[in-house]
Amino acid sequence: MAEQSLLEAIREGLHEEMARDPAVYMLGEDVALGGPFGVTAGLAEAFGTQRVVNTPISEGAVMGLAIGAAAVGLRPVIEIMFIDFITLAMDQLVNHAAKLHYMSGGQLKIPLTVRVQCGISGNMGAQHSQSLEAWLAHVPGLKVVTPSCPADAKGLIKAAIRDDNPVVFIEHRGLYWARGEAAGAGAAVTPIGEAAVLREGEHITIATFGRQVAAALEAAAELAPQGISAEVIDLRSLQPLDMDTLVESVRKTGRLLVVHEAVSEGGIGAEIAMRVQQAAFYDLDGPILRLAAPFSPIPASSALDRFFVPGKAEILRAVRGAFRRQGAGG
């Protein structure tokens, strides 16, 4: 089985889409040099600096340029080095990219892909490590996706570029060098809005995304010999959410744990919990559980990082605690 890193998969997807469609352009700070983590390395050599364009250090200007390009028929892919810096371009993204199709009565399409990097990895502190996906998923007109493995990274970047709507493509820095099964040349597009059931189970559903997927799978494997069968769902798409898959799973298992790296308040977990209990209240055998980071700025200390980010140990504790409280077993 051929393997590649998530970073390599994104680069391969970008390369294939640029080769497939001359309307695809790359814009961003240092993208012609590979970007801060090397995702776009080699694209300028392959397609020229007229299509892989280094921009000034102004996220607002990059976003505005890309929205204009998308409105007149190009398919720009922009890189915002850290999701924290998207704050500098929110006016353009939220008030223009997300609204122009609606406000033009459908006359304008904005096929824009916004690549952003998020997450706690490398002790980069509170201004370079946030997970702001809930902000973006709150905005009508934006789609939000986040892959957890190389195959989905390639499939979702292709889907984002081909979509006629603005798509925010969130890459977790802690997954860039994680290796997994390669999608292969010309791999199929991964549909936006479809979750993936990675492990089937009978007693509890664990719904998560990004870096927490691996932790959930590890926890599920450890729980199985103890008589607790956990179903693990990789959401992949945060806007739109695949509620059909989530609700079907919860109706089978009767329990739900939602895990994410972002702080708990106002997070995606709260939205999922509300929508699942509305759809499957009478199928639940206990309260929906939510596991997330504490409501605090992100520390730069590696020692504190380990306490801040939910992982396998926290997932195990949450699941076991739920079954002890409910007097239930496998």
Residue 43 CB partners (closer than 8 Å, separation 6+): 11, 14, 15, 18, 26, 31, 32, 52
Give the position of tokens 């739900």.
256
Residue 104 CB partners (closer than 8 Å, separation 6+): none
Instruction: Answer for the pair 40, 81: CB distance below 8 angstroms, yes or no.
Output: no
Catalytic annotation present for 128: yes
The CA distance from 224 to 50, in Å, is 54
Select which of 16, 17, 29, 59 is catalytic: 59
Both tokens of residue 80? 């915002």
Burial environment of residue 12 by CB neighbours within 10 A (0 to 12, 13 to 18, 19 or more): buried
Kindly state the DSSP code that residue 29 receives in the 8-state scheme: T
Cα dihedral 82, 87, 93, 95 in deg (nearest 10): 170
User: Residue 290's Cα: distance from chain center in Å?
Assistant: 18
Select which of 16, 29, 79, 128 is catalytic: 128
Catalytic annotation present for 101: no
Active site residues: 59, 128
